[in-house]
Amino acid sequence: MRLEDYMPRFAQIEDIRIETDTEKTFTMRLPDDDPGMVFTPGQFIELSVLGAGEAPFGLASSPAETHVFQSTVRRYSAGVVTVPLHRMQVGDFVGVRGPLGNGFPLKKHAGDDILLIAGGLGLPTLRAAVFYLLDRRDEYGDITLLYGARTPQDRLYKHDLETWSHSPLLQCYQTVDVADENWDGEAGYVSQLVEKLQLDPEKTSVYMCGPAVMINPVVEILERMGLTDEQMYVNMEAHMKCGVGKCGHCLIRDKYVCLDGPVFTYGEVKQMQQFQDAI
Ligand SMILES: Cc1cc2nc3c(=O)[nH]c(=O)nc-3n(C[C@H](O)[C@H](O)[C@H](O)COP(=O)(O)OP(=O)(O)OC[C@H]3O[C@@H](n4cnc5c(N)ncnc54)[C@H](O)[C@@H]3O)c2cc1C
Ligand code: FES
């Protein structure tokens, strides 16, 4: 048991960036004498606002930075945690537990081509994976990021996307469901981007993070291309409370999403979906 999984410690908000009408990225700093946020992309934290409550959020920053980390938070109307979080200012303190959960098996996939597929609010978690991979560029084959957002304005991290789209180190393709007159990129679902890829099924590992409506069609295409359920990993969302396998809120079949996940192979996800459909 690690104390930092159970006991919130304080982090100070160092920067707040407005991403969209409903999403903000918080940069938070831990004190120098803290063990730091040593994490694997795909892991998450529980962020708390004093007097309001606590909720899980993905880690969106580079894992190379241990005392400064970022999470991007979507505000829900009447959200117990996200509304007061969005009201916070630079200099305020939040509580933080974690890193929690398992993360993507990036070390195991050294040498592979890595395909990252994000939809909407799935990008924060995969952004951390992009930073990780670029820090170890020589250890991996092709790196491809596909990102789908609802509209051009709804895209997160527009600056990073611009940089990555022009970088020789990875391939980054974006699409929007609904284009506007200023958008000259792709329009349509992220699955359409997947259709255009030339993958080597022998050496590709896929990491996905996005809504269920994105995952299933994407998997269907990847299976047609020759990938197996065990080569595809999904970062799952589930209702969580404790985040450490104690309260049972996130239990599906025999898996605690917070503890055994949130990253599962698609084979495991399928079994969990079948179990949920049956009850
Ligand atoms: C592992 C994990 C990682 C996550 N990472 C992120 C992240 O990086 N960024 C982020 O913004 N969110 C993330 N979430 C979702 C986030 O935890 C919830 O949005 C948050 O708990 C809402 O808290 P709240 O107290 O403000 O809302 P509540 O008071 O619990 O709910 C307010 C209203 O919002 C609705 N609502 C709440 N959560 C969601 C949701 N996820 N989808 C749709 N409607 C919802 C509720 O149904 C309710 O109507 C993650 C969740 C998990 C489990
Ligand atoms: S959130 Fe409590 S067991 Fe997973």
User: Could you tell me if 95 and 122 lie in one domain?
Assistant: no
| CATH code of the domain covering residue 17 | 2.40.30.10
pLDDT digits (tens, 9 = 90+) for 63-80: 999 999 999 999 999 999
In a domain, 245, yes or no: no
Number of Cα atoms under 13 Å in the Cβ half of residue 28: 29
pLDDT at 4: 79
* CA 180 to centroid of ligand 2, rounded, Å: 41
End-to-end CA distance of the chain: 33
Q: Using CA atoms, how far apart are residues 205 and 196, in angstroms rounded to an integer?
A: 17
User: Could you tell me if 167 and 143 lie in one domain?
Assistant: yes
User: Could you tell me if 62 and 159 lie in one domain?
Assistant: no
Q: What's the average model confidence in pLDDT over 41-60?
A: 96
From 57, 96, 240, the mutation candidate for ligand 1 (largest count of ligand atoms within 8 A of CB) is 57
Given a cut of 80, whether residue 155 has pLDDT beyond it is yes
| Cβ pair 100, 47 in contact under 8 A | no
Given a cut of 70, whether residue 1 has pLDDT beyond it is no
Given a cut of 70, whether residue 279 has pLDDT beyond it is no
Given a cut of 80, whether residue 15 has pLDDT beyond it is yes
The minimum-distance atom of ligand 1 relative to the CA of 124 is 8
Q: What is the ipTM of this complex?
A: 0.94
How many domains is the chain partitioned into structurally?
Answer: 2
In a domain, 271, yes or no: no
100 lines ligand 2 (CB under 6 A): no
- Binding pocket residue ranges, ligand 1, CB within 6 Å: 44, 53, 55-58, 71-74, 76, 78-82, 121, 124, 237-238, 240, 262
User: Could you tell me if 121 and 167 lie in one domain?
Assistant: yes
User: Could you tell me if 119 and 94 lie in one domain?
Assistant: no
User: Could you tell me if 19 and 121 lie in one domain?
Assistant: no
Given a cut of 80, whether residue 278 has pLDDT beyond it is no
pLDDT at 276: 78
User: Could you tell me if 217 and 147 lie in one domain?
Assistant: yes
Residue 130 belongs to domain spanning: 113-235
pLDDT digits (tens, 9 = 90+) for 217-232: 999 999 999 999 999 9
User: Could you tell me if 228 and 136 lie in one domain?
Assistant: yes
User: Could you tell me if 195 and 228 lie in one domain?
Assistant: yes
Q: What's the average model confidence in pLDDT over 109-133?
A: 97
